[in-house]
């Protein structure tokens, strides 16, 4: 891959596992300077990888950390990937679940953008990629998760409009089932709902995290500068399937 991105910094939240981990590796290989936010660095962290410990559920602490990183140098890109997925029925969904999901899945993304936005505006260029989910279209037992992932899409469209004059693009990736730790916890392979979900995917498989990382790389690329306010569904055809669940 090209190394022409060597002076462009990218911040990725939830970088220690799943899509975030794959994106960190992919973008580093593409030549970006990647900074990963996570509560803990992964056990397989390599020499040269930059992980910053941050609990995004603590919004004010997260703001201070990201602002401190921004003072060290402007960021070209932001990938808001950190999320929590409650798996409860309507009856069992607590207001505390809704608030927790809103804090991490939506508000933390706003805090990160607010901290990095001045540097992007001054540079006259920026890329924001928010990771939503196919569940934003509806999914049983995901009241808090689907609500917040839908909110992220709506928020991203507003951001795209406000930031367009500054040459900052904002786009969303909405993955279907991806073989991440989060998916495996929420959708055990022997669960009836999981089997039904996979049967409905036209490509008859789940995505690998690296496939989503590739799409993130596409949206961050300078030649993607005319695409903003869009939601890219990467779901094996699930959203167009007549047997969609």
User: Is residue 1 situated within a structural domain?
Assistant: no
What's the domain count of the chain? 1
Whether the pLDDT of residue 72 is over 70: the answer is yes
* Across 140-151, average pLDDT: 96
pTM confidence score: 0.93
More confident residue, 45 or 163: 163
User: Is residue 245 situated within a structural domain?
Assistant: no
Here the CATH number for the domain that contains residue 64 is 3.40.50.720
- Quickly state the pLDDT bin for 242 (edges 50, 70, 90): low
User: Is residue 150 situated within a structural domain?
Assistant: yes
Domain range spanning residue 32?
A: 9-240
User: Is residue 4 situated within a structural domain?
Assistant: no
Secondary structure string (H, E, C) spanning the chain: CCCCCCCCEEEEECCCCHHHHHHHHHHHHCCCEEEEEECCCCCCCCCCCEEEECCCCCHHHHHHHHHHHHHHCCCCEEEECCCCCCCCCCCCCCHHHHHHHHHHHHHHHHHHHHHHHHHHHHHCCEEEEEECCHHHHCCCCCHHHHHHHHHHHHHHHHHHHHHHHHCEEEEEEEECCECCHHHHHHCCCCCHHHHHHHHHCCCCCCECHHHHHHHHHHHHCHHHCCCCCCEEEECCCHHHCCCCC
Q: Which candidate in 26, 32, 145, 226 is catalytic?
A: 145
- Quickly state the pLDDT bin for 195 (edges 50, 70, 90): confident
Residue 159 has a pLDDT of 99
Whether the pLDDT of residue 63 is over 90: the answer is yes
Whether the pLDDT of residue 37 is over 60: the answer is yes
145 is annotated as an active-site residue = yes
* Across 193-203, average pLDDT: 87
Residue 188 has a pLDDT of 85
* Across 68-78, average pLDDT: 98
Residue 56 has a pLDDT of 97
User: Is residue 174 situated within a structural domain?
Assistant: yes
């Amino acid at each position: 891959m090209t190394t022409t991105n060597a002076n462009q910094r990218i911040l990725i939240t939830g970088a220690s596992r799943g899509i975030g981990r794959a994106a960190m590796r992919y973008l580093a290989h593409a030549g970006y300077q990647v900074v990963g936010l996570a509560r803990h660095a992964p056990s397989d962290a390599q020499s040269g990888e930059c992980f910053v410990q941050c609990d995004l559920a603590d919004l004010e602490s997260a703001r201070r950390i990201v602002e401190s990183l921004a003072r060290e140098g402007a960021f070209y890109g932001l990938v808001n990937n950190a999320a929590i997925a409650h798996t409860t029925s309507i009856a069992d969904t607590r207001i505390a679940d809704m608030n927790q999901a809103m804090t991490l899945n939506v508000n933390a993304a706003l805090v990160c953008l607010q901290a990095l936005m001045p540097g992007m505006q001054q540079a006259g260029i920026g890329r924001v990629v928010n990771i939503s989910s196919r569940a934003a279209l509806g999914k049983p037992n995901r009241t808090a998760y689907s609500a917040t992932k839908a909110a992220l899409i709506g928020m991203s469209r507003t951001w795209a409009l406000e930031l367009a004059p500054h040459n900052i693009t904002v786009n969303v990736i909405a993955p279907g089932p991806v073989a991440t730790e989060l998916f495996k916890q929420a959708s055990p392979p022997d669960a009836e709902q999981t089997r039904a979900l996979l049967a409905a995917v036209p490509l008859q498989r789940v995505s690998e995290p690296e496939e989503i990382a590739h799409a993130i790389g596409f949206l961050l690329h300078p030649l993607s500068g005319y695409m903003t306010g869009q939601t890219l569904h990467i779901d094996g055809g699930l959203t167009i399937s007549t047997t969609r669940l």
